């Protein structure tokens, strides 16, 4: 039986087609992709971004990319954005870091989806509100049900080292 979370309940209520994948703890994007049977770019990270006092939004980022802060600031017409710490992220979404998703969040913050997400051929996987729990969905249904604004807001991951 699939674990029930506010996210899985919201997915069910949304009416979109989805498939839940349950897997053990993963330590990297590559492990998550392998566990879900997808390539890393099909894993969608949900990032919480603070626009101002009490004003947040979700940014959906393909797994093999990261937020381009200059692009996101230009899109939003602001000079400053930040990411909340883990306690604030939990407070404003109801989810712990690593499990955050727009589905079932305590507040329905606006959603921005990177343009590459909807250009994908095939399904994508987004967190379903618990570690090791994900929903595989069609990208066009995902952005439609979340009423996401589609924009070019990412860049390739910067190599760490």
Residue-wise pLDDT tens digits, 84-129: 999 999 999 999 988 999 999 999 999 999 999 999 889 999 999 9
Taking alpha carbons only, the member of 143, 134, 76 closest to residue 100 is 134
User: pLDDT at position 152, please?
Assistant: 98
**How far, in Å, CA of 39 to CA of 32, rounded?**
9
CATH code for the part of the protein at 6-150:
3.90.960.10
pLDDT at 1 over 60: no
Residue-wise pLDDT tens digits, 15-72: 999 999 999 888 888 999 999 999 999 999 999 999 999 999 999 999 999 999 999 9
User: pLDDT at position 3, please?
Assistant: 86
- Give the length of the chain: 161
C-alpha atoms less than 13 angstroms from C-alpha of 19 in its C-beta half-sphere: 7
pLDDT at 159 over 90: no
> Is 157 in contact with 65 (CB distance < 8 Å)?
yes
C-alpha atoms less than 13 angstroms from C-alpha of 47 in its C-beta half-sphere: 23
Lookup result for tokens 């994908």: 120
Long-range contacts of 79-86 (CB under 8 A, 24+ apart): 81/49, 81/50, 81/51, 82/49, 82/50, 83/47, 83/48, 83/49, 83/50, 84/48, 84/50, 84/56
Residues 6+ apart with CB under 8 A from 27: none
User: pLDDT at position 161, please?
Assistant: 58
User: pLDDT at position 27, please?
Assistant: 87
User: pLDDT at position 66, please?
Assistant: 96
pTM of the shown model: 0.95
Please name the helix (run of DSSP H) or strand (run of DSSP E) that holds residue 112, with its range, or none.
Answer: strand 111-114
pLDDT at 2 over 80: no
Sorted by where each begins, the domain ranges of the chain are 6-150
């Amino acid at each position: 039986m699939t674990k029930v979370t506010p996210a899985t309940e919201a997915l069910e209520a949304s009416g979109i087609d989805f498939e839940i994948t349950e897997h053990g703890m993963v330590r990297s994007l590559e492990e998550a992709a392998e566990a879900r049977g997808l390539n890393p770019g099909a894993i969608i990270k949900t990032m919480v971004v603070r626009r101002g006092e009490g004003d947040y939004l979700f940014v959906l980022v393909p797994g093999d990319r990261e937020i381009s802060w200059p692009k996101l600031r230009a899109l939003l017409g602001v000079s400053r954005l930040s990411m909340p710490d883990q306690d604030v992220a939990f407070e404003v979404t109801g989810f712990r870091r690593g499990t955050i998703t727009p589905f079932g969040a305590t507040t329905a913050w606006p959603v921005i989806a990177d343009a590459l997400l909807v250009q994908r051929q095939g399904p994508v996987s987004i967190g379903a509100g618990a570690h090791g729990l994900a929903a595989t969905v069609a990208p066009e249904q995902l952005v439609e049900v979340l009423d996401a604004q589609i924009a070019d807001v990412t860049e390739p991951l910067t190599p760490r080292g």
